[in-house]
Chain A
Amino acid sequence: MTAPTVTKAAPDSRGLASKGDTLLEVRNLEKYFPIRGGLLSRVVGNVKAVNDVSFTLARGEVVGLVGESGSGKTTAGRAILRLIEPTGGEVIFNGTDVTKLSKGQMRDYRREMQIIFQDPFASLNPRMTVSDIIGEAMQIHNLNPGKGRIDRIAELLQKVGLRPEHMRRYPHEFSGGQRQRIGIARALAVDPTFIVADEPVSALDVSIQAQVVNLLQDLQEELGLTVLFIAHDLAVVEYICDRIIVMYLGRIMEIAPSHELNNNPKHPYTEALLSAAPVPDPTIKRQRIILEGDIPSPINPPSGCVFRTRCRYAIDDCAKVVPELREVAPQHYKACIRDDVL
């Protein structure tokens, strides 16, 4: 490996993108949740859920966001869509910083930026029919008015592998996999260009997961969607994504193309994550890196490198500064001060 030079460039020129034209650029995104306490319910601290997160997505790209529970994946995904308000940073979508838009202006962008939720049981209103659920967003954005709307709903249902007659039914009449299909149809209803898929298969049975993964992959190709695919299962992410972003405790640890991340991880946390994933082949017995302890509290994250309390390569310097996310090979970024270990 060539020794990379530490760039002092401004964060926005770091070009954390792949080739192709940029659809979304996230700059120094931050989301702190205040913790209130005491009699006056004053802010006594912050949950630093997302801290200085920067990356870009090219048009038509599928990028994975992985990391352990609590690492800030959902918060990042929602802050990008402004489903929750970021406390800092910029989200530049198609050249416009959407964090600066008013509610009214945001509505037009909402149409282009959709989300698919993890839990297909909780994310659909049980009292609405499938056609109401899918039609709702069209109505808000005044799309396909009149008879055309029913036709469009029927078409969407077919697209996600359901039947037009399903539109009169209620969510409880469907299995988990079918409900996730309804969630996908709802997201597609307004012709978005960008989708955040927040663990779309985690709640599904193993035999159903592949159906939904294939569906998402087909739709992405057919419609040229740009997707931020949030997951904790690295195997699924490697399989479906062009590139992968690894988060830990609110910060990005590494960004690399999927095959590169897998074959040549440069960050100690990624190395440990890969090593921890059980392999479905009983003839492979590997030596495992067992990370000690638990993920620390995001209220008081460790100083310097947030991973240092569990890192087997940690040295004194790791506690001093937050390692910068820097390019160590083409398209490959890591936030770790040590280049001599991986």
Chain B
Amino acid sequence: MTDHATNQAEVLLAVNGLKTYFNTDDGVVKSVDGVTFHINKGETLGVVGESGSGKSVTSLSIMRLIPMPPGEIAGGEILFSGAGGKAQDIVKMSEAGMRKIRGNEISMIFQEPMTSLNPVYTVGDQIAEAVMLHQDKNRKDAMGVATDMLRFVGIPAPEKRVNEYPHQMSGGMRQRVMIAMALSCNPALLIADEPTTALDVTIQAQILDLMRKLQKDIGMSILFITHNLGVVAEMADRVVVMYGGRVVEEGDVIEIFKAPRHPYTMGLLNSIPRPGVDAHVPGTPRKRLEAIPGNVPNPLNLPPGCAFEPRCKFAVPDCSKAVPPLEDTGGGHMARCIRWQDFAKADQEVRA
């Protein structure tokens, strides 16, 4: 996990003011509208947010996999400090340069493994393919790497499994294959977009456990996208919270959970029952979840000021005047809310 021994964390990836837009018949969808965050070497950055908040578009932008058209990167930079040493801007990189990075220094696992595994090739062929693309290996050696990788991710009888097709495997097994493929070239950054959402909790626990172990062994950084706050709490060192295509809060995982400074984050945390703690006890009054009212905003028609304003119980007239800036509330804990100081003060009063 985070390299606490060296105090100055080394930045692996820095996304600055990224804007990824889609030109649709109904207008311009500003899926990612000025997103800024960074990932340090060896750390896991969790990204949470509602459906449509721009999590996947952010990660696809980093991979340079946005379909253009209709998409375009309308602004910003994505600085990656890969094997070359000095930071390179992925946005400006040539496609040939990008091919050297994609699937090699930066790789990605997707929510639904079936959409990214090819049904007509064996899993061994697919992993070997990725290995041969980036490493100077012949087929036989590449297949050897594939078998080793399957063993590495805990697939039983890898010598046999390597010759199977994706449809012969269970969902959890396919996700392991995806991880094996993504890790086959020792990436510096692994982007995991909802890697366990489609899986059962017991299989999710296996995969999370595996990812943690592998990270410790390989020392890679992970960008972990999920909407499950439990998974974030468990996996992330730091957290980015997105809403309506913007970062609304960013900070250390414990800070985010214990002292959130944005009302959307607070609302999310209050809206989920905690396992165990909130179990209903017969004969006691029923608890109520604190739901966030209203609906996810329409990306074509975001509110003028703070995008969360229509749903925010702390909203004041100033909130709709301009998009609030992302401000440092102390120690790198960022929040995009004009009232964060009020929450900080209230927190202090409670603690006093």
A residues with CB within 8 A of B? 68-69, 175, 177-178, 205-211, 213-214, 217, 221, 232, 234-236, 238-242, 257-259, 261-263, 272-284, 288, 290-295
Q: Check B27 for interface membership: any CB of A closer than 8 A.
A: no
Interface SS, A side:
helix
Contact A238 B50 (CB under 8 A): no
Decide if A207 touches B267 in the complex (CB within 8 Å).
yes
| Chain B positions within 8 Å of A213 at CB level | 289, 291
Q: For the complex, give the distance between the alpha carbons of A262 and B273 in Å.
A: 13
Instruction: Count A/B pairs, Cβ under 8 Å.
Output: 159
Given A288-B205, A291-B206, A294-B172, do A280 and B200 touch, yes or no (CB 8 Å)? no
B205 touching A206, Cβ below 8 Å: no
B295 touches A235 (CB 8 A): no
B253 touches A206 (CB 8 A): no
Residues of B participating in the A interface, judged by any CB pair closer than 8 Å: 50-51, 156, 170-173, 200-206, 208-209, 227-234, 236, 253-254, 257-258, 264, 267-269, 271-276, 278-282, 286-293, 295-296
A211 touches B291 (CB 8 A): yes
Q: Are B275 and A242 in contact (CB under 8 A)?
A: no
Contacts of A178 in B (CB 8 A): 295
Task: Please tell me if the beta carbons of A206 and B257 are within 8 angstroms of each other in the complex.
Answer: no
Q: Which residue of B lies closest to A212 (CB)?
A: B291
In the complex, which residues of chain A have a beta carbon less than 8 angstroms from the beta carbon of B209? 288, 290
Q: Which residue from chain A places its CB closest to the CB of B208 in the assembled complex?
A: A278
The answer on a CB contact under 8 Å between A262 and B279 is yes
| CA–CA, A232 and B200, complex, Å | 8
With A205-B51, A262-B275, A291-B202 given, name 12 new contacts (CB 8 A).
A68-B203, A206-B272, A211-B291, A214-B289, A235-B276, A238-B273, A239-B273, A274-B275, A276-B204, A278-B228, A290-B209, A294-B170
B272 touches A235 (CB 8 A): yes
Contact B205 A259 (CB under 8 A): no
What distance in Å separates the Cβ of A271 from its nearest Cβ neighbour in chain B? 11
Closest B residue to A204 using CB positions: B51
- Pick 10 A–B contacts, CB within 8 A, sort by A: A175-B296, A206-B229, A206-B268, A206-B271, A207-B271, A214-B288, A235-B230, A258-B279, A282-B233, A282-B234
Q: Which single residue of chain A is at the shortest CB-CB distance from B264?
A: A207
The answer on a CB contact under 8 Å between B295 and A175 is yes
| B173 engages A294 (CB within 8 Å) | yes
Q: Is the CB of B233 within 8 A of A259?
A: no
Q: Which of A206, A258, A283 has the most CB of B within 10 A?
A: A206
Closest to A281 in B: B233
B227 interface neighbour in A205, A217, A291, Cβ under 8 Å: A205
Known contacts A258-B280, A276-B201, A282-B233: does B268 contact A207 (CB below 8 Å)? yes
In the assembly, what is the distance between CA of A284 and CA of B276, in Å? Answer: 13
Nearest Cβ on chain B to A211's Cβ, whole angstroms = 4
Q: Are A239 and B291 in contact (CB under 8 A)?
A: no
Min CB distance B56 to A, Å, is 14
Shortest beta-carbon distance, A137 to chain B, in Å? Answer: 26
Do the beta carbons of B274 and A235 come within 8 Å of each other? yes
Q: How far is the CA of A293 from the CA of B156 in the complex (A)?
A: 9
The answer on a CB contact under 8 Å between B288 and A217 is yes
**Provided the pairs A232-B201, A282-B254 are in contact, do residues A262 and B293 lie with their beta carbons within 8 angstroms?**
no
B239, closest chain A residue (CB) = A282
The minimal Cβ–Cβ distance linking B135 to chain A, given in whole angstroms, is 31
B282–A242 CB distance below 8 A: yes
A207 CA / B279 CA spacing, docked (Å):
20
For residue A278, which residue of chain B has the nearest CB?
B230
Q: Are A280 and B274 in contact (CB under 8 A)?
A: yes
Q: Is the CB of A238 within 8 A of B272?
A: no
Contact between A259 and B172, CB atoms less than 8 A apart: no
Docked-complex contact B276 and A238, CB < 8 angstroms: yes
Inter-chain CA distance A298–B163, complex, in Å, is 25
Q: Tell me if A276 and B280 are in contact (CB < 8 A).
A: no
Closest 10 CB pairs of A and B: A278-B230, A210-B291, A210-B271, A239-B273, A238-B279, A276-B205, A210-B289, A280-B229, A235-B275, A68-B200
Q: A242-B280, A291-B206 are in contact. Are A210 and B295 (CB under 8 A)?
A: no
Alpha-carbon gap, A273 to B201, bound state (A) = 7
Assembly CA distance A262 to B282 (angstroms)? 13
Chain A residues with Cβ below 8 Å from B206 are: 290-292
Residues of A within 8 A of B50 (CB): 205-207
Residues of A within 8 A of B200 (CB): 68-69, 232, 295
Q: Is A239 a contact partner of B201 (Cβ separation < 8 A)?
A: no
